Amino acid sequence: MHHITSSNCDTTGNSLPDAVRQLRRDVLWAASREKQVTTHVDLQSDAFDHEVRGFHLLEALPDGRCFRWMSSYADFLLKVSAPSLAIEIRSGVAKNELTVLIQGNEVKSLPLTFDWQSAEIDLLPYAGREVRVELRTSCVVAAPGDPRELSVQVARLTTGGQGSIRAVDDDGVAKQKSPQQRAGWCHPPLPELPTFSREVFERVSTASAPGSPAPSSVLLAVKFFRPFDPTSEEMLSMASLLRQSGLRVHLVAEQVHESFLPHISSVEKIATQVREENSILILHHGTSWDYGKRLMQHSRARIKMLRYHNVSKSETFLKYPAGYLEPTIAGRFETTDLIPHATHLTAPAFSALGDLLACGAPPEKLLHLPFLHDLEKLDGEQSGAVPAELRNSRASLKMLVLGRQLPSKGLHHCLLALAHYRRIYGDGISMHFVGSRNALHGRYIQELELLVEEHALAGMVTFTSEVNRTGVASWLRHCDALLTMSESEAACIPIFEAGWFGKPILGYQCGGKTEHAGPGQLLFESLDPALHAEAWHRLVQEPELRTTLGALARQHVRQHFSTAKIHARFLEVIRLMSTERA
């Protein structure tokens, strides 16, 4: 592989190669702007008892700038058989407002906060009629051009009816809560937590004065603990480093894959640990977890780190069976609830620290801690055979989409952009989806297959769901570029891995992607298929640009995210927390 020298591959924004600068200008100029997008829920029932979720809105201004709004726009038909409609609502940002309309007329306006509030809507004037009710909440939560989604709203609505509403999919089939797959999963017992005591809380909170003994033990907690899961593997890396530093380390999780069960501490040891005051609690947070929330509140540890991993955007799961939607909604509110109980808040990207600030986190509690990984292990993986899908492809550009095949990963955006490419430029590229599938999202996989069929992409697309570490390394070695269209990320692990192998990074910019991929990569704040198709076409026409972009990614990842540097930063954070308390 050709390596460009550091003199013309400086990773600062002012030293990008001219060819990369020109490529980005050309692509942005040629592609159309992202259009305004919004979502709404349509519900019908004689009796009403349901939750309405928040959605985001991207508003494009005439000058090309974008405002990111958090907005829930829910409308439903209600056959009025009760005297009133009760609304309970809370907001995920400090300033927000609810507007209620019936038949298009505003009947209620209510300022919102983080706390639950109640409102009563008089329905007597509409008795016996079928009326359309609209709920609207909105507020600007990010600066122009900032694509981050920072919060949601949740509203509970009830009438006096005895029945409950059915939320239906587009095909009219009632949504069902699908049970999690249980094969290979264990549920180790969780100990009872000590009763919360304000006196103990205040004593422990002030126990970090100069002269206090250094913590002697650590409890690491996560909801799901499983192989090939970045959060689980980060927790194992933390445990190993902390033990090497002489600390006693215990691990607790609610749902554990049987192969990871030996890492979990006994219920007796965990029960003792949560009562130990001269200790550290590190709670990994990326979804709703009631026990984890209570653990943060009730643990008597002197130091409590909330390790924030990003909670996926709720609306990406709206159309699909329950299993991910509810935890993402609750998880965003739990973020706000957890912050007051944590002494320190860490995140693997500066954008994720911004999410915490938007949830009310005090700036002095925040610490930037890159994702713990061991990329050097990729070099040690045996060089497996070239995947057959790549070997058989005659495409000029072979793009890898690596990661779980879920709605939040944006695989449908990849296919829509590929369809646009095929219409305009032909079949000179191929797209290879590699990652596990979840039985909860069979409908999403069917939708992807329909897109492939509808746009005649069968000869340009492959799907692989079973792959081991050696297989992943082979895909990364032999692909031409990594494509990521996920809409919500703190640390996108495939970016680190692709950069380690010197592959260009393409796709949609959100969260920490640019921070981790480095400057110059073809990540854009738009999902417009035309924009991405234009970028891919340039790489097909000018293969030397791939080499340049790949070298930039390789240099950035190896310079800023080496295992030694990341591990040293983690131990520095532990020392900081132990000696200074924020």
The answer to whether residue 123 is domain-embedded is: yes
The answer to whether residue 393 is domain-embedded is: yes
- Tell me what pLDDT residue 311 has: 87
Strand order in the sheet with 117-122: 49-53, 153-158, 84-91, 117-122
61-65 LR contacts (CB < 8 Å, sep 24+): 61/144, 64/33, 65/144, 65/145
Q: Which residue has the higher pLDDT, 152 or 257?
A: 257
Query: 400 with 505, same domain?
Result: yes
What residue has token string 């600066």?
Answer: 143
Q: Which residues pair with 433 in a beta bridge?
A: 401, 463
Domain of residue 121, CATH code: 2.60.120
Contact by Cβ (8 Å): 140, 70 = no
Contact by Cβ (8 Å): 435, 404 = yes
Contact by Cβ (8 Å): 92, 115 = no
What residue has token string 């769901």?
Answer: 465
Reply yes or no on whether the pLDDT at 28 is more than 50.
no
Query: 462 with 503, same domain?
Result: yes
Q: Which residue has the higher pLDDT, 151 or 127?
A: 127
Main-chain phi, psi angles of 143, to 5 degrees:
-70, 160
Mean pLDDT on 301-305: 94
SS3 at position 127: coil
CA 100 to centroid of chain Cα atoms: 31
**Model confidence over 309-333: pLDDT tens digits?**
988 877 777 666 556 776 777 788 8
Distance between start and end Cα atoms, the chain: 45
Highest mean pLDDT among 7-16, 314-323, 460-469, 533-542: 533-542
Query: 411 with 425, same domain?
Result: yes
DSSP state of 63: T
Residue 489 CA: distances (Å) to CA of 233, 442, 515: 17, 23, 11
Query: 518 with 401, same domain?
Result: yes
Query: 427 with 512, same domain?
Result: yes
Tell me the HSE value of 83 on the side-chain side, using a 13 A CA sphere.
0
- Tell me what pLDDT residue 578 has: 87
The answer to whether residue 172 is domain-embedded is: no
Give me the DSSP letters along 39-54.
--EEEEESS-EEEEE-
Please tell me the distance from the alpha carbon of residue 285 to that of residue 306, in angstroms, as a whole number. Answer: 7
Domain of residue 215, CATH code: 3.40.50.2000
Contact by Cβ (8 Å): 461, 415 = yes
- Tell me what pLDDT residue 192 has: 84
- Sorted by sequence, the CB contacts under 8 Å of residue 203 that are 6+ apart come out as none
Query: 569 with 556, same domain?
Result: no
Q: Which residue intervals of 180-324 are DSSP H helices?
A: 198-205, 230-244, 267-273, 290-298
Altogether, the residues listed in the chain come to a count of 582
Main-chain phi, psi angles of 72, to 5 degrees:
-105, 125
Confidence band (pLDDT; 50, 70, 90) for 92?
low
Reply yes or no on whether the pLDDT at 466 is more than 80.
no
Mean pLDDT on 71-87: 67
Query: 135 with 243, same domain?
Result: no
Strand order in the sheet with 344-347: 185-186, 248-257, 217-225, 279-285, 303-308, 344-347, 366-368
Query: 244 with 369, same domain?
Result: yes
Please tell me the distance from the alpha carbon of residue 312 to that of residue 320, in angstroms, as a whole number. Answer: 14
Number of structural domains the chain divides into: 3
What does the mean pLDDT of the chain come to? 77
Query: 139 with 46, same domain?
Result: yes
Reply yes or no on whether the pLDDT at 64 is more than 90.
no
Q: Which residue has the higher pLDDT, 196 or 361?
A: 361
Calculate Rg over the CA atoms of the chain.
Answer: 25
The answer to whether residue 193 is domain-embedded is: yes
Q: Which residue has the higher pLDDT, 56 or 487?
A: 487
* In the chain, % of residues over pLDDT 70: 71
Highest mean pLDDT among 77-81, 111-115, 440-444, 479-483: 479-483
Please tell me the distance from the alpha carbon of residue 498 to that of residue 118, in angstroms, as a whole number. Answer: 49
The answer to whether residue 73 is domain-embedded is: yes
Q: Which residue has the higher pLDDT, 45 or 378?
A: 378
- Tell me what pLDDT residue 314 has: 72
* In the chain, % of residues over pLDDT 90: 43
Last residue of a domain, which of 158, 177, 204? 158
The domain of 110 spans 41-158
